Amino acid sequence: MPTVLTGWAIILTAVLSGLFGVHAIRRPFLTAALMKIVKRSLPKISETEQTALDAGTVWWDAEIFSGRPDWATLEEFNVSGLTKEEQAFLDGPVEEICRETDDWKIAQDRDLPEELWQKLRDMKFFGMIIPKKYGGLGFSAQAHSAVVLKLSSRSLPLSVIVMVPNSLGPAELLLHYGTDEQKDYYLPRLATGEEMPCFALTEPKAGSDAASIQSHGVICEEKIKGKKVLGIRLNWRKRYITLAPVATVIGLAFKLSDPDGLLGDKEDLGITCALIPRDTKGMSIGRRHDPMGIPFPNGPIEGKDVFIPISYVIGGEEGVGQGWRMLMESLAAGRSVSLPSLSLGASQLATRVTGAYSAVRRQFGLPIGKFEGVAERLARIGGLTYGMDAARQLTCAAVDAGERPSVLSGIAKAYLTENMRTVFLDAMDILGGAAICRGPKNLLSRAYDGLPIAITVEGANILTRSMIIFGQGSIRGHPFVPKELEAVAKNSLEDFDDAFWGHINFTVCNAVRAGIDGLTAGRFLKVRGTAKARRHKQLITRYSSAFVLVADVSMLLLGSSLKRRETLSGRLADALSWLYLATAAVKRFEDEGSSKEDELYLDWFCAHAYQEIETALLTITHNYPVKFVGTMLRLRLFLLGRKAHGPTDMQNIALANRLMGDLGGREKLSSDISVSDSPDDAMGALEQAYRKIQAVIPLEARIRTSRKTGVLKGVAREDLYQAALEKGVVDDDEFQQLLEAQSLADAVVEVDDYSQTAYKRLKG
């Protein structure tokens, strides 16, 4: 009997070895059948979807999908700072504009003053991304980001007005796709603000699904001054178009057809982009939307039977039908800069304001930041701001290095705007009445009002998270999925065989690694760097292998249905995104010298990131479509239970103290914003009160000691300063310092109030 069993075992082993191990047997008998199954199960991807998926480049996202990120590559990657010219612009013109900007007045007047508009033109704020040979500033993505960041800390309308011409729009599209004639004509005018651009994409029936635009053009010929001119007859309705009310040249996206074959045999030519002067006959422009009361120009544009020459198409006749590719490739880089920078500027503002206010505002005889409930929120404000800045710097550096990181730019846009929302909700809670009573003294309410705008534009965050980040990342960044799809498209059995079985081998090996990493918390992984950086690299690698295992099992098991499982895709996006954000924090920590003081920032942010990653992966396993598989994944990855519980209470308290001034933390975490020193300005008044309160801390400590055990024991809190003077605890100069500090603090805590008449005139 044992001999028979041994024989059958040998035969079975030989069959399986031949079936799986011998190419000549495996390919025709097994791989061919699998390839047919994959072909049938693949979702239908439209040309526009494929263009979106192919846009941009793959960078660190591919390292995350490998399950074993190459940390040496990241260490060698240079996140360069600003050039002397860029820093001079930031210290000069940008600071000048910030000093002259009165955000409350802008809110009441519903516009920037004309002299400010003119200064922005004269100083070439609208030409930051335009090369010098066309009259622009030719700034890097880092510099562009730094300018938007600083402006947004002063005024949201100001930052949006500057941001849009330098983001996805006519200048960006012309630089990459315009004809020489178009570049020579428009770029110098855009650089100086002689032309004000907008780009019209969104419309009533095409928002997140921008490829479904209804705006339509038809190739035709029209007589102009007795000559036949080849052109396009256009009809469109667009809305939510930033700068539309003041634009002089409109970038327009529309579907184009050629029913008479004037350009060739193809009737449906696809999405096309054109530049149309404002005074073109048939265009209706100038009406305004009111986005959350934030007074930046935004409005609808309509066109009825508008004729434009074919030369208005970006790229000329060769640009016909290339509009969707242009938009997706530009968006792949554009989302890395503008909105992430705006989000960070707002978050640094919240950091600086709440840090000071928590030290100045007192309740029960203590600065409110000393209460643990407030400290927890303060810590989250500072910790998230640190990580957001790390992600901004790393992503902008990738763009400057020539990358167009479509997946990572989506992460930067979606998760930095979401983190900004968290930061501001915490800041509003801490400031309480001072944050909800509108007026010139309120430093946060107007930025708070604008939160939904950043969440919505350049790809709504719900869509970006649930459909795009993981969907595009898995197709582009995975080491085997792109090869499998390409093999199926080419109908190459040999290539599919190599890719598919390579994928299976990768998944099995990674499953083993992920299990070991989970049991050991990655402690035996070999990485370089300081002890603190090494530990976080080990943990990020551990979570990377766990993420990839869940992703691979989901792709192999669920196939095309994964596209429809948006909650699963969204949670995988959460894990992928927080892996990238944690990576950026480690990179920043090392680039800034791995100082002992900075360990708190890194530890806090990474602890938060690991908690988000574990939450995403564990939630997937608990909700997995196939319960048994979900249970197996959970046991494989988290056999010893959940390990990431977020920052500790001690870390929160320490970080809160940093925000209130310890070790220069408040300055470090808000170093890039504009800070007024004028006592007539709300920020300047807060800064002055904060400095005075900090200066009298030793005097306050002396008084507290005397109240507990000395001559001031039993004295009522409101009588302490006078009693301290009378009992000799403080001298006359110290008494005056205490009174001045208290007076400045009281003034900061006060909020604006109005007469009935003035109240009815309030705007914004």
- In degrees, rounded to 5, the angle at the alpha carbon of residue 432 between the alpha carbons of residues 429 and 438 is 115
> Per-residue pLDDT for 397 more than 90?
yes
Contacts of residue 653, Cβ cutoff 8 Å, sequence gap at least 6: 372, 375, 379
Residue 491 region, left (φ>0) first, then alpha (ψ -120 to 50), else beta?
A: left
Confidence tier at 174 by pLDDT (50, 70, 90): very high
Distance from chain centroid for Cα 507: 31
The pLDDT, as a whole number, for residue 521 is 94
pLDDT tens column, 602-632: 999 999 999 999 999 999 999 999 999 999 9
Minimal CA–CA distance to 413: which of 492, 354, 471, 468?
A: 468
The first and second tokens of residue 717, run together, are 């809190």
Query: Cα(53)–Cα(410) distance, rounded to whole angstroms?
Result: 12
Query: How many percent of the chain have pLDDT more than 90?
Result: 78
Matching residue, tokens 């390990």: 643
Catalytic residue among 203, 329, 403, 458: 458
Matching residue, tokens 């498209």: 489
The first and second tokens of residue 515, run together, are 């299990």
Secondary element (H or E) of residue 232: strand 227-242
pLDDT tens column, 404-462: 999 999 999 999 999 999 999 999 999 999 999 999 999 999 999 999 999 998 888 99
Over residues 27-56, the mean pLDDT reads: 76
CATH for 335-460+655-659, options being 1.20.1050.10, 1.20.140.10, 3.40.50.1360, 3.30.930.10: 1.20.140.10
The pLDDT, as a whole number, for residue 43 is 67
Minimal CA–CA distance to 672: which of 147, 88, 138, 139?
A: 147
Q: Helix, strand or coil for residue 272?
A: strand
Over residues 564-580, the mean pLDDT reads: 96
Confidence tier at 18 by pLDDT (50, 70, 90): very low
With beta carbons less than 8 A apart as the criterion, state whether 345 and 152 touch. yes
Residue 138 region, left (φ>0) first, then alpha (ψ -120 to 50), else beta?
A: left
The pLDDT, as a whole number, for residue 563 is 82
Say whether 318 is catalytic. no
Who has greater pLDDT, 9 or 506? 506
Q: What is the largest CA-CA distance in the chain?
A: 106
Confidence tier at 23 by pLDDT (50, 70, 90): low
Query: Cα(412)–Cα(331) distance, rounded to whole angstroms?
Result: 12
Matching residue, tokens 């019209």: 200
Strand partners for 257: 218, 268
Query: Cα(197)–Cα(244) distance, rounded to whole angstroms?
Result: 8
> Per-residue pLDDT for 57 more than 50?
yes
Residues of the chain with CATH 2.40.110.10: 198-333
Q: Whats the size of the chain, residue-wise?
A: 764
> Per-residue pLDDT for 764 more than 80?
no
Confidence tier at 4 by pLDDT (50, 70, 90): very low
Query: Cα(309)–Cα(658) distance, rounded to whole angstroms?
Result: 61
Residues of the chain with CATH 1.20.140.10: 335-460+655-659
E strands, 8-97, where?
A: none
The pLDDT, as a whole number, for residue 488 is 86
The pLDDT, as a whole number, for residue 44 is 67
The pLDDT, as a whole number, for residue 38 is 81
Residues of the chain with CATH 1.10.540.10: 84-194
With beta carbons less than 8 A apart as the criterion, state whether 518 and 546 touch. yes
Confidence tier at 295 by pLDDT (50, 70, 90): very high
- In CATH terms, the fold of domain 198-333 is Butyryl-CoA Dehydrogenase, subunit A; domain 2 (2.40.110)
Class of domain 84-194 as given by CATH = mainly alpha
